[in-house]
Amino acid sequence: MKDRGPEDLSVDELRLLLIGKRQRAHEARLERFRRSGRLAWTPGVGPASSSPEDWNCREATSMDAPRHAWLDRLLFAVEALAVLALLGLLLNGAAVFRRLNQEVSAAIRLPTLAPTPLINAVVLPEGHTPPTASGGAQPNQAEIPPQLRPLVQSLANLPVPTPASEQAVRIQVPAIGVDAPVVQGDGWEQLKKGVAQHIGTPNPGENGNIVLSGHNDVFGEVFRDLDRLKPGDLVVLFTAQRQYTYVITGTRIVMPTQVEVMDPTPNPTLTLISCHPYLVDNHRIVVSAVLQTP
């Protein structure tokens, strides 16, 4: 019979031919495995349903299984370590973030504010020599202890507050006919212009002690008659927006160094200060008042 070429074979014949070729290749490979000791199977031994292809697959699987299990365990360990590392980073990041927040909060935390006295004065304001003294009226340096005169000079140079609508601009004391402007700062030059407010004292109507001083025998003698005031008399302070009425509660004569009369108070109060007595000026007269409630 004439040999037939691939083009002369049917599809089924070609498929059978291919299967036979693969079968022979499997048998040859199994034979090599048997000779090398890598396969213990021999034809005819084993399950009836087993074929050389099945044994070949089982042999390959049995060889790869330990390696796959080892790789699986290794990958699992790597993944577990990665998860633990990520959790550690997250926890560490949260701790760092919390610590930074605490440090920033501590850095910007304002200290607890407590009421502090106004700038400490060495002597009460408005001290001057009488106009009848040799040399006329001038700041009375003799009232100030020598060792404290540099401090008084430094306080005299404090900057005047920026004008604001809440500041006092005018004072009226009807009982003694006072109607005068109020200026900020109670240095010698400010006191020439009218009634002077001590720097650091509150604005009218606010809690605290407003300290106002004025001359009694020079530059208009604006506070000459403070000694005529009695409890119940009124003092009216004006701002750019409204007016505040204070009721006088008492009068006393003190030494120039009794600066405690200027101490802050928890409630709205007013202190008026001038030299005393008239044309002697070796003491101070201090008039106290409280804000009139509606």
104-121 per-position pLDDT tens digit: 777 776 555 544 444 467
**Is 272 strand, coil or helix?**
strand
Contact 165, 229 (CB under 8 A): no
**Number of Cβ within a 10 Å radius of residue 230:** 11
Q: What average pLDDT does this structure show over 148-163?
A: 72
Fold held by 141-148+165-291: Sortase; Chain: A; (2.40.260)
For residues 122 and 30, what is the distance between their CA atoms, to the nearest angstrom? 116
- Band (75; pLDDT cuts 50, 70, 90): confident
Q: Is 264's pLDDT higher than 80?
A: yes
Q: Is 46's pLDDT higher than 60?
A: no
Q: Is 6's pLDDT higher than 70?
A: no
What was the pLDDT predicted at 91?
Answer: 84
Query: Comparing C-alpha atoms, which of 270, 276, 269, 195 is closest to residue 228?
Result: 276
Query: Comparing C-alpha atoms, which of 245, 187, 251 is closest to residue 219?
Result: 187
What was the pLDDT predicted at 156?
Answer: 62
**Is 236 strand, coil or helix?**
strand
Identify the bridge partners of residue 181 per DSSP, sorted by sequence position: 170
Q: What average pLDDT does this structure show over 126-131?
A: 88
- Band (150; pLDDT cuts 50, 70, 90): confident
What was the pLDDT predicted at 117?
Answer: 45
What was the pLDDT predicted at 175?
Answer: 97
> 172 or 1, which is more confident?
172
Name 167's Cβ contacts closer than 8 Å, sequence gap at least 6.
161, 182, 184, 197, 203, 239, 240
